[in-house]
Structures are given as structure tokens and as C-alpha cells.
Amino acid sequence: MHMFPLDSTVSTRRLSACFNHTSSTYKFYWFLALLDAIEVQQKEVKKKQLFIGMISNAWYTVNYFNVSFGQQDLIQKTVKSIKLLEHIAIDEDRAIILQKLLKSKNIEVKKLLMHFDKQVPHRFLSPWYSGKNKREVYNLSQAEIESPIYKLYNDKIVILPAWYNYLQKHIRILRDYVYWNLSLFLQVRNPNVPDIPNKIIKPAKRNSLHKQRKFWDHVIKKRGPLRCIYTGKELTKDLYHVEHFVPYSFVSHDQVWNLIPADVNFNMIKSNKLPPLKEFFEPFYQMQSLALDVYLKESRREILLEDYLHIETNIENGLSKKKLFSVINPLVTIAANNGFEFLK
């Protein structure tokens, strides 16, 4: 059951009904774009701005994390098309995406954005105007029949005062509601993809890998320079990057069992590509096993060793190659199925 904060001035029952029988993501992203406008105190909002808001809110989830919205989802297709047309980075900030698309002169981009106008704005008002066609919804909303959330015009929407006050008052609760239900919607379509809720909003800043670097610094200190499993280059204490073997943009965590030191230049090129396991799993395992051997021989109770309990419950006996592969292999397979590319 959908629950919104009750209010005597607006029909929260109808707002809840907007999200009944959801078969695509457009309702979630249209409402998020509407809340973005409310947050900056806009009562009249251009449709183009709202359509761009839909795209920018979905950008990171589609392009960086490769989360599937479903084969027929128009937002996912549009996000991918606009990325190619405008050459925008997959992890670009939402505010920059908004500005670039608002200023874009690309005719194809405009067509892609305005395609949403055929269905999205009036269908969102279906709970107020069940069974009415597009033109009837426009006319009825402009006359404020049934007090809809907004009035529809050719190039804009106008939010009714009572609804504006309600949305502004409860904006945080409403936004959290959308994110939660969007997470549930996407999890069904991505049953084996980890951490869907944290793939909906781009984090303000990636976590520091300072602790993980100290972990590998100690291994290099004890065993001497290591060799990058990708390039064979020597890795010294001051010259390596901590690298996610299975990309962060898929696993969405920094656990040490998925991290190894790597050549700085190669790590920047690797980006979010997947390592072919036939070529790289064995050296990856050997490097992980070496690190554990260093810490276990010293009986050091490094807190990051707890990360390995995800793989091996009795870590004191070392790391099982079979168990590590049984975790890594499905992650790589699912990531590849979701559109992540392999290293070439």
C-alpha cells in the first residue's frame, strides 16, 4: 500500500494511485524532476526542464552502474542515446548534465526529450482523470477539475497552490518514498545485481581507499615490490593504485578481497572494464593469497581481514581459490550481462 503524509487540502490517495501498476520508470523520474523544481521554488515549470530532469536523475544509474530498467524502458534508451550525442561522461554531475542539455542545440537531443511529451505529463494525472484522452486531461486540468497536482499546457505545467505547499512541506519524505519504490522496481529487474539502492543516487564523493592502501603498503614492505597482474610492471610502495578487480561501479563496495595494487597508468585506462578471468583470475588469486599470508604469519589482526569472511569463514587457514572463484565468477558474468565491457 502506498502511503503519503495525509493532508486535508489535497488528495494524497490520488497521488498514491499514480504509482499503482508501475511498468516502467517514467513515473518515478517524472515525479523526482517535479520535486527538483519544487525544491528551487518553481510553481511554473517548462516541460523541457522536467524531461531533462528525468534524464539527469537516471544518468548515473544507467551509464555508470549499468542497471537495467527493462528492455522497453524509454528513459534508459534516451539516456544512452543522449550520452553518445552530447559526449557527456558516464559519471558526470547531475547539475552539469542539466546545464548542458538545457543549452544543447542538437536537434536529435530535442526530439528525444520531447518524445516524453506524448505520454508522460498527462498519464501521470490518470488517477484524477481516469478514462480521459490526452486533450481532455489538458482541458480538465486547466479548469482545475478534481484539483489535480498540476495544470497542463503545451510547453509547461503549473503546480496548483495547495499541491505546491504540500509537496514543499513533505519533499524529503516524498523523495525517499520514490527512491525506495524505484529501488524495489529495479531490484526485480536486476535480481542478481548488488546494492541497487546505492546505485540510484550518485554519491557526493567516493570513499577514500586510504585504509586499503595501508593494507597493501604493509604487504609490499614485507615482501618487496609486487608485479602488476595486468602489465607486469613493478609496484613499489609509492607507485601504484589500489584497483577494484571487479569494477566498483558493479560491486559498489571497497572490500579488500576485491582490491589489488595495480600499475597507475593501466588503472586509469581500465576504468570500469571487466578482467577476463581465464587470463587474470590466477594472478589475482596469487596476489590476494600473498597478502593474507603476510598478515596471518605475523598474527596481525588487521580489521580489513574481516572482509575476507565473506569468502572464507575460517580465514586462519588461508584463502581457498575455489571459494574466491565462486564469488568472483558470478559477479563478472552478471556484470557482463548488464553491459559492462571486458578488457581487450
> pLDDT of 264-319, one tens digit each?
999 888 888 999 999 999 999 999 999 999 998 886 667 788 888 888 888 888 88
Of 53, 165, 136, which is closest to residue 98 (Cα–Cα)?
53
Is 0.75 surpassed by the pTM of this model?
A: yes
Coil vs helix vs strand at 241: strand
For every residue of 18-74, DSSP letters joined together read TTTT--SSHHHHHHHHHHHHHHTT-SEEEHHHHHHHHHHHHHIIIIIS-----TT-H
Question: With the C-alpha atoms ordered 163, 169, 173, 179, is the resulting torsion angle positive or negative?
Answer: positive
> pLDDT of 202-256, one tens digit each?
776 778 899 999 999 999 999 999 999 999 999 999 899 999 999 999 998 999 9
Place of cell 582490491: 259
| Residue 150 bridge partners (DSSP) | 159
Place of cell 598474527: 299
